[in-house]
Structure 1
Amino acid sequence: MLRGCGCQLPVFKIANYEYGSRIKSIDFHFAPLEDMKSTLPYPHRHEFYHIVWVVSGSGHHIIDSIRYEVRPNTLFFMAPGQIHDFALSEDTVGHAISFSSEFFAFKVQNRHSQTEIPVYDFERIPNTVYMSDAQAQDLHHVLDGIDAEYQGEEAGYEDVIWSYLRVLLIKSVRLGGDAVTDVNSSRSVLLSRRFKSLLEKHFTTVHDVARYACLLNVTERALNDATRQALGSTAAKLIRERVMLEAKRLLLHSEVNVAEIATQLAFDDPAYFSRCFRKHTGRSPIDFRRSLEKLSI
């Protein structure tokens, strides 16, 4: 069931995500998918990054209103805040990896050296990657390493898991066909990350590039230059996309009316919100909601 009754969707933190295995850390969790799929309430959001590897099985997976087929050797990637809903066959087997932004971004002690190597952003990985048997076998060595370290808990095991996780993400970007290139300016990457973090916190109230630039203590031009170089988009476009994504989520997963959604997203005029939404999606909010009702069938 995708559409709710207007109640708020559950939002999980790793600390209260004890489905499939006990929680060892508030920053990293590893569990069998077959245990989690039968106990977790769907749909829901996470406050952490989430990777699901379907080793075998079938079904479908809806991430932010986009429906993906579930088949053997499928990787699913979800960033914090994304809404997803699983419908899996009884024989589905796989793994679920969850980690906080702090675990991935700040695990290395020497952050200066970290910024001088090529940066691979989680957000640049597609939501879904379908692997061949050979590709899955290659990545399984990485997953086996994570599993062994997680179960063994020997000295420094979280640092080793971080290294395996980084390899997993880099290889996943390659499998996804994303044209990732080395980023020459680490400053642009770091500024873009700070901007995306602020945007995630304030997108419901702040839509102005100048305000974000002020919060980051940089000029608008510097912010736009950084996001163009690191993310391939202007700051204004990233703000619009984030606001419209949330509008789509609310239209799909709640019964909140358009005027209330406009208010939640800091639009004073519902008509102006509807015009912005139509410009972004090609449909009115009402038409968009109706077009997605078939996903719950």
Structure 2
Amino acid sequence: MQSTFPRLDIGPLSEYRDDDIMVGRFSEYLQEHQNLVFPHRHSFYHLVLFTDGGGKHTIDFHHFEVVSYQIYFMLPGQVHSWNFEGEMEGYVVNFSESFFRSFLLKPDYLDFFSFLNGDSRQNVVELAVDIRPKIAEQFEELLRQYSQSPALREDMIRVLLLQLFLTIEQSISTQQRQKGVFHKNAVIGNFQKLIERNYTKHRLPGEYAEMLNVTPNHLNALCKEHIGMQAGELIRNRITLEAKRLLVNLDLTVSEIAYQLNFSDNSYFTKFFKKEAGMTPEEFRKKSADE
């Protein structure tokens, strides 16, 4: 593993005039950005549809086998790396956090999509066979629009991306209904959003229950029913995930990471991390470097 930990902005990844959107063929993208085999994080949304090739892909320390017509979605700040086999084909889209902000009445509209909720286990979707031709054509249309003159181009791309997201979400919802799986409770969704914004400041379920205007017991019961874990576990999992993301950056000391995560001292952070991850921060760092 390299000692630096690149956080890539969308500007250097776009050869076109504006820096809020980039659409391309994945094989060409790989040729232009060969350094991206190392763990890195983006400051923008990033999605890839694989149409050919294989290998492995890692998002936030969850490992996935690459297969044709698998699509993955990443939020700003998530860490990923890949190790591909054979000739890779597909499509890639990068767009900034502000790309939809002035276009949509609801600024948090993208949170509606299950694959954009920040849970890496849901970031990877194997497309149902019946929607694959439609999705491939939508990506081709994105490429066509991206090559057009700027006039109205961005709005066309926004509409096409939303159509793409809705097509995939509809397919996921249909499969979930067939399996008897349903969307999470609204309180749970709001709880997870609050954790994302406050995990370094608030670590007790009671603090979040107060923000949600529910009792701690009710919040805990909802978490057990809909996610299968206690409320405190969700909070600790988010802290542990960020610790792992920071630990693969070899430019940061463990003490600096503890400080960033608002731990009172390094020893407390080490005890917390070992309890949650099953190893010390130094052991995790070494294990990640060896992979």
TM-score w.r.t. structure 1 length?
0.71
| 1:18 equivalenced with 2:17 (yes/no) | no
2:50 is matched with: 54
Map 1:281-296 to 2 at 5 A: 281-295=277-291
Do 1:129 and 1:172's aligned partners in 2 also have CA atoms closer than 8 Å?
Answer: no
**CA 1:131–1:191 in 2, change beyond 3 Å: closer, same or farther?**
closer
1:244 is matched with: 240
- Given the alignment, which residue of 27, 30, 52 partners 2:23? 30
Give the letter aligned to residue 140 of structure 1.
A
**CA 1:194–1:205 in 2, change beyond 3 Å: closer, same or farther?**
closer
Q: Please give the alpha-carbon distance, in whole angstroms, between the structure 2 residues aligned to 1:49 and 1:281.
A: 27
1:4 is matched with: 2
Map 1:175-190 to 2 at 5 A: 181=182, 188=187
| 1:44 equivalenced with 2:40 (yes/no) | yes
SS in 2 for 1:129: strand
2:156 is matched with: 157
Q: Please give the alpha-carbon distance, in whole angstroms, between the structure 2 residues aligned to 1:162 and 1:249.
A: 28
**CA 1:50–1:23 in 2, change beyond 3 Å: closer, same or farther?**
farther
Q: Which structure 2 segments of 5+ residues have no match?
A: none
Do 2:48 and 2:93's aligned partners in 1 also have CA atoms closer than 8 Å?
Answer: yes
Encode CA deviations 1:235-256: one digit per residue, 9 max, x unaligned: 6444322221121123334264
Map 1:103-182 to 2 at 5 A: 103-104=99-100, 107-109=103-105, 111=106, 119-121=112-114, 122-123=116-117, 126-131=122-127, 134-152=130-148, 154=152, 156-171=155-170, 173-174=172-173, 181=182
How far 1:51 sits from its partner (Å)?
A: 0.8
**CA 1:222–1:31 in 2, change beyond 3 Å: closer, same or farther?**
farther
SS in 1 for 2:259: helix
SS in 1 for 2:28: helix
Which range is displaced more, 62-71 or 189-198? Answer: 189-198
How far 1:47 sits from its partner (Å)?
A: 1.7
Encode CA deviations 1:195-253: one digit per residue, 9 max, x unaligned: 25523xxx445545677789x7967869958x959x84766444322221121123334
Quote the sequence identity (%): 24
Q: Please give the alpha-carbon distance, in whole angstroms, between the structure 2 residues aligned to 1:174 and 1:251.
A: 36
How many residue pairs get aligned? The number is 278
State the superposition RMSD in angstroms: 4.2
